[in-house]
Amino acid sequence: MLLHILNRSPATSEVYRQALAAMGPDDRLLLIEDGVQGALGALVDRFAALEGRLYAQEEDLVARGLEPLCDPSVALIDVEGFLTLTEEAQKTVSWF
Amino acid sequence: MANDKALGVDGDLLVILRHGPHGTSWLREGLDAALVAAAFGRRVTLLFMGEGVTALVPGQKSGPLGQKGTSPTLEMLEMYDIDTLLVETEALALFGLRADGLMLSAREVEAAELAELASTHSLVLTF
């Protein structure tokens, strides 16, 4: 299992498509920085194929005031959770 | 000065904010430019476009490492007499936001009005 990390918003950047194209069936995707916009109910459908493998950095959502708009299908993780995801993954792949 | 007209001294400034808070410094720089222009007596219109509409989401905080956000600056706009805030209707829909749920009151503009805004302001800065 690989951990893919996306820091760009799917509303303004197409790089999320490249991340999705490069993901294996068990790989996980973590949204960080502006990438957390993808966790919003209005944008999360871009990641519909991931079913339970989509994570978002909670601190970044909170700083942007976006936590209340976050879709319930997205798993929110703090920095400790980020570390755990990293430990569980064979390696990480960054998309920016 | 001969250049006054070209530089927009006789007219208004449109600042287009296209980036959200925290991820980059574009939003902060755009707001700084707007505040400086207003301090020098320009009439400033702020247009929140695309991802820029997320600058107006209520309840923003400092970043995880204590980085200052931009919402305190937005709260100061009124003090600088910047009261023409515009927000792109399509962008609100894209992010699932509503104009009446934003931290400041802003008038919605349709995509069709953007060209007119850009042409009627003598100076346009995009951030």
Name chain B contacts of A33, Cβ cutoff 8 Å: 22-23
Q: Are A69 and B57 an interchain contact pair (Cβ–Cβ within 8 Å)?
A: yes
CATH code where residue B110 lies: 3.40.1260.10
Q: Are A12 and B61 an interchain contact pair (Cβ–Cβ within 8 Å)?
A: no
**Number of domains composing chain B:** 1
| DSSP string computed for B49-96 | -GGGGGGG-TT----TT----SHHHHHHGGGGT--EEEEEHHHHHHHT
- Asked if A13 and A38 touch (Cβ cutoff 8 Å), the reply is no
Please tell me if residue A66 touches chain B, with a CB cutoff of 8 Å. Answer: yes
Mean local confidence (pLDDT), A26-44: 98
- Asked if B34 and A76 touch (Cβ cutoff 8 Å), the reply is no
- Residue B36's domain comprises 4-59+68-126
In A1-96, which ranges are continuous DSSP H helix?
15-21, 58-63, 79-88
Dihedral sign computed on CA atoms, order B124, A96, A6, A87: negative
Query: According to the model, what pLDDT value does residue B56 have?
Result: 98
CA–CA separation, B53 vs B42, rounded Å? 23
- Residue A29's domain comprises 2-95
- Cα end-to-end span (Å), chain B: 27
Query: According to the model, what pLDDT value does residue B40 have?
Result: 93
- Please calculate the CA angle A64-A66-A71 and round it to the nearest 5 degrees: 150
For chain B, the average pLDDT equals 90
- ipTM entry: 0.84
In this predicted structure, the answer to whether residue B9 has a pLDDT above a threshold of 60 is: no
Dihedral sign computed on CA atoms, order A13, B123, B2, B43: negative
* A32 φ, ψ (degrees, to nearest 5): -130, 170
CA A54, distance to chain mean position in Å, is 5
Q: Are A79 and B64 an interchain contact pair (Cβ–Cβ within 8 Å)?
A: yes
Q: What proportions of chain B, in percent to the nearest 5, are helix, strand and coil?
A: 45, 15, 40
Query: According to the model, what pLDDT value does residue B4 have?
Result: 46
Query: According to the model, what pLDDT value does residue B2 have?
Result: 41
- Binning pLDDT at 50, 70 and 90, where does residue B11 land? low
**Number of domains composing chain A:** 1
Give residue-wise pLDDT tens across range B93-111: 999 999 999 999 999 999 8
Q: Are A69 and B20 an interchain contact pair (Cβ–Cβ within 8 Å)?
A: no
In this predicted structure, the answer to whether residue B7 has a pLDDT above a threshold of 60 is: no
Give residue-wise pLDDT tens across range A48-95: 999 999 999 999 999 999 999 999 999 999 999 999 999 999 999 999
In this predicted structure, the answer to whether residue B65 has a pLDDT above a threshold of 90 is: no
CATH code where residue A33 lies: 3.40.1260.10
pTM score: 0.87
